[in-house]
């Protein structure tokens, strides 16, 4: 299993191997040591985030969303060009090829667990079925909580 996260101290992205017996995570960039919360694993199944105190995780595809949208937009743009030149068969061929390519990627790419609060990702884990898909309500709860925490911090009084 691996964990991909941003270190809370240096804010640099890290990817490290993790096992259920590990008690700490160490940032390879700054050396900051994170204590793995107790009861993070139930056997080999991840139950909570190892980086932050959140227990809310969701399952998503291990694929960059921007790349997926770019593929669909490229297919759409290509089909618009073929439509402009009145190549109806080519237009629908491009659209179906794009949809087929998207479907193949969906079927071939594995899943990861992602934390709503800190966006840490965990791949190669068991127990993905215990966590649901993305829930906008839970995401919004964590987003609003983050905004409130930033607003409640005292302003920096140093002169610039």
Burial class (CB within 10 angstroms; exposed 0-12, middle 13-18, buried 19+) of 5: buried
Distance CA 91, CA 157 (A): 60
Please indicate, yes or no, whether the overall pTM of this predicted structure exceeds 0.85. no
SS3 129: helix
Alpha helices (runs of H) in the chain, residue ranges in sequence order: 65-84, 88-108, 136-152
Q: How confident is the model at residue 56 (pLDDT cuts 50, 70, 90)?
A: very high
pLDDT at 138: 97
* Domain range list for the chain: 2-59+113-152, 65-107
Upper half-sphere CA count for residue 155 (Cβ side, 13 Å):
4
């Amino acid at each position: 299993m691996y964990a991909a996260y941003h270190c809370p101290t240096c804010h640099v992205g890290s990817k490290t191997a993790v096992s259920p017996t590990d008690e700490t995570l160490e940032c390879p960039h700054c050396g900051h040591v994170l204590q793995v919360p107790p009861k993070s694993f139930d056997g080999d199944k991840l139950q909570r985030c190892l980086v932050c105190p959140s227990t809310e995780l969701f399952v998503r595809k291990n694929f960059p969303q921007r790349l997926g949208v770019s593929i669909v937009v490229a297919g759409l743009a290509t089909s618009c060009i073929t439509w402009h030149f009145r190549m109806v068969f080519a237009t629908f061929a491009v659209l179906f090829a794009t949809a087929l390519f998207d479907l193949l990627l969906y079927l071939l790419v594995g899943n990861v667990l992602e934390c709503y609060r800190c966006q840490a990702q965990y791949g190669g884990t068991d127990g993905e079925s215990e966590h649901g898909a993305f829930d906008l309500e839970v995401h919004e709860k964590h987003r609003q909580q983050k905004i409130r925490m930033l607003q409640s911090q005292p302003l920096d009084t140093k002169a610039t």
